[in-house]
């Protein structure tokens, strides 16, 4: 007997991708969006197969993603947002809610939803994660593409 290996790749042909991006901290989320779009196009996703939706903040991402999945025939969605720690427990509540919401969407929709939500101590850390040496929006795009490919392989 031999081991069977099943892996996805970042080139799932004909995929339709949604991106939901929060407006809160838009100086950062706009750069994440640019990174995601660059990664998608660089892996063969056509512009006409990408839908970008804006929502107010990271807390609203799960509902906006669910609404997008319910309204459009998509293979996966990238959720992009930023939560920066402040002096109150608000940071923990928002991070926990968004994380749980994205987990639930993945499991209940059976569609990949990439978690592209930065959780940082300050703006400087967030900016460092969307630069030329590594853009977390682009990384989230690659993750959703790989999961689409993996699901296709597992479901056939």
Enzyme catalytic residues: 90
Burial class (CB in 10 A: 0-12, 13-18, 19+), 95: middle
Q: How far is CA 25 from CA 8, 120, 145, 154, in A?
A: 32, 12, 25, 37
b/e code 65-93 from CB counts within 10 Å (16+ = b): bbebbeeeebbbbbbbbbbbeeeeeebee
């Amino acid at each position: 007997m031999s081991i069977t290996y099943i892996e996805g790749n970042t080139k799932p042909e004909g995929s339709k991708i949604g991106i939901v991006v929060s407006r809160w901290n838009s100086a950062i989320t706009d750069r994440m969006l640019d990174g995601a779009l660059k990664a998608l196009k660089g892996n063969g996703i056509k512009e006409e197969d990408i839908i970008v939706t804006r929502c107010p903040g990271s807390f609203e991402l799960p509902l906006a993603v669910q609404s997008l999945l319910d309204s459009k025939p998509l293979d996966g969605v990238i959720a992009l947002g930023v939560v920066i720690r402040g002096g109150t427990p608000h940071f923990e509540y928002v991070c926990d809610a968004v994380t749980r919401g994205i987990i639930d969407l993945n499991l209940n929709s059976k569609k990949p939803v990439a978690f592209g939500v930065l959780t940082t101590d300050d703006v400087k850390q967030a900016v460092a994660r969307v630069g030329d040496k590594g853009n977390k929006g682009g990384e989230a795009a690659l993750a959703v593409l790989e999961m689409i490919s993996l699901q296709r392989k597992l479901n056939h």
